[in-house]
Structure 1
Amino acid sequence: MDRSLIQYDTYNRQEVHDILACLVFGLAHLWTYDFNVLQCVILIGMPSIIKIVLYLKTRNLWSAYLAHLFFDSVVIAITISGRL
């Protein structure tokens, strides 16, 4: 069997697992956000893909932590400014 096919299949599985992890992470926040599914999936779940990719690329939790801190800081700044 061709090695490139094995690598391609493994890469696709990783993408699917990452997306599923983001959805589960977002949906785990349903009780916090009054069961607003779109808010949980779009505002909580999808940005977590950035943190997953950062960790997988760097193998460093600090990069994911700093991305989380930056994202939360932006959301807090927008909320305080009254634009959200």
Structure 2
Amino acid sequence: MLITTNEVKQKLIESLNLEDLTPDDIDDNTPLFNEGLGLDSVDAIELIVALDTAYNIKFENMNELKEIFANISNLTDYINKNLKR
């Protein structure tokens, strides 16, 4: 069973306590960092831990993180490709 972008958005909102946002507020292609949602490196670490806990996803190649975390769509694709259920 594939994880949807809405599930990833909900996990992002919950893990980072973004209480003023709903999944519908976040476009799948909105950048997660800088000009997009404005997340920072601490948020990235918290999100990595939350995704590892929820989906048993490991982010082993640090060189790929910028691309993986570019937006919800990329992140969802990565989770689905590496999902261990």
Per the TM superposition, whether the score is higher than 0.5 is no
How does the TM-score come out when normalised to structure 1?
A: 0.28
How does the TM-score come out when normalised to structure 2?
A: 0.28
Larger CA Rg, structure 1 vs 2 = 1
